[in-house]
Structure 1
Amino acid sequence: MTSQENRRITDLGTLKAIAHPLRMRLYRNLFVARTATASQLAEQVDEAVSLVSYHLRKLAEHGLIEEAEAQSSDGRERWWRPTSYGVTIRDEDIRSSPELAAAGDAVGRTVNEQRAELHRRFLDERLTWSDAWRSASISSEWLPRLTAAELAALNKELDAVCEKYDRIARAAEAAGDTEGRENVAVHLHGFPYRP
């Protein structure tokens, strides 16, 4: 059963597994779908089913996904689901080892590239969305001067707000309320910089 908590990744093997760009896309698509087969995911990422199956098995080896109950009567299909609500990589878990830090950075770069691609695709397709969706979409930048503790507190509050709305949406979907719902990406970055 999928855990309602985030999975905290602390080992090198799992970091390397999720850092792979195709595996990250598969994990994200599986997270959105809740359950899916290799064939369904292969269609979404435009890759061969055999390649997708291989990468799904690698994600499963590291406990990031697991087999799910079949959603159809075709016994040949293997269904997958995430093992947790999401994944978390914390600096304090990887900073003691150069290998862990490098793998954590690789995950961060993969995630950032894929997030940027999602946003680029929205910008390219923006006019295909309704006025309501275009008006509801956000793109903003804030440049406050904070302490590290204030940034950590801000992060905690923003996470809580996003999790609240995600859980509301999941409960509504479970109750059959899918009218007007779309997948929504919310990307937040908060980091220090020097001009």
Structure 2
Amino acid sequence: MADREKDRRITDVGTLKALAHPLRAQLYRLLIIARTATASQLSEQVDEAVSLVSYHLRKLAAHGLIEEAEPRGDGRERWWRPASDGVSIRDEDFRDAPEKAAAHIAASRLFFEQRADMVRRYLDERAHWSDAWTSASDSSEWLLHLTPDELLELAKEMNALVRRYEEHGRAAMAAGDTEGRENVAVHTYGFPFRL
């Protein structure tokens, strides 16, 4: 197994389409959270047949998005892990041809809908979370006047900040500091709009 990259930049339509399948995107997200899992474990979380989950995991692996992990237990099941800590998908890599731009838009819409579903689920379940978690949860909107360069710099700074917290959480988990830790989704969007 190769050394892991921080974020894999997706620049080809084939890989983008492989990830932009609803079940594959969900499986990839679950692997990012779990770090390693089997098709059986993932099938329980997505309520799909193990054979279907295995098929989609192999498709993700064929595009280098996930890879086999070290076997655990009796070694009869294949273990999978993300091939990188995440992916980045940038508009500039898909705007040079109409079919590439269309694939990027379709993928972006799917990812947005899945993220929106996560927020809706949290809102539906909020009453079941502790006061500490509901007080710590955030939903903010800022309407700014920026240049493209300023928006790019803002995105870089926000990504660096979140990355520091991600690394801290992973290090704490690896050291056995799991008390009070939950999976946390942080979504940010920065885009121009006109009134």
Q: How large is the RMSD of aligned CA atoms in angstroms?
A: 0.9
> What SS does the aligned partner of 1:145 have?
coil
Cα distance in 2 for residues equivalent to 1:188 and 1:93: 21
Q: Which residue of 2 aligns with 1:117?
A: 117
Q: Which residue of 1 aligns with 2:87?
A: 87
Q: Which residue of 1 aligns with 2:11?
A: 10
1:78 CA drift (Å): 0.5
Q: Which residue of 2 aligns with 1:148?
A: 148
Cα distance in 2 for residues equivalent to 1:16 and 1:54: 15
Q: Which residue of 2 aligns with 1:48?
A: 49
Cα distance in 2 for residues equivalent to 1:58 and 1:105: 21
Q: Runs in 1 of length 4+ with deviation above 2 angstroms?
A: none
Cα distance in 2 for residues equivalent to 1:164 and 1:93: 27
Cα distance in 1 for residues equivalent to 2:144 and 2:182: 31
> What SS does the aligned partner of 1:178 have?
coil
Aligned pairs (5 A) from 1:18-167: 18-73=19-74, 75-167=75-167
Normalised by the size of structure 2, how large is the TM-score?
A: 0.97
Query: Is there any run of 5+ residues in structure 1 with no aligned partner, and where?
Result: none
Letter in 2 for 1:118: M
User: For the Cα contact (< 8 Å) 1:2–1:85, is it kept in 2?
Assistant: no
Q: How many residues align?
A: 194
State which drifts further: 140-149 or 1-10.
Answer: 1-10
1:128 CA drift (Å): 0.4
Normalised by the size of structure 1, how large is the TM-score?
A: 0.97
1:193 CA drift (Å): 0.8
User: Residue deviations 1:57-92, cap 9 Å, x none?
Assistant: 00000000000001222x221100000010011112
Query: Is there any run of 5+ residues in structure 2 with no aligned partner, and where?
Result: none
User: For the Cα contact (< 8 Å) 1:9–1:87, is it kept in 2?
Assistant: yes
Identity of aligned residues (%): 68
Cα distance in 2 for residues equivalent to 1:184 and 1:102: 31
User: Residue deviations 1:118-152, cap 9 Å, x none?
Assistant: 00000000010000000000001000111111100
Letter in 1 for 2:109: R
1:4 CA drift (Å): 4.0
Cα distance in 2 for residues equivalent to 1:11 and 1:77: 31
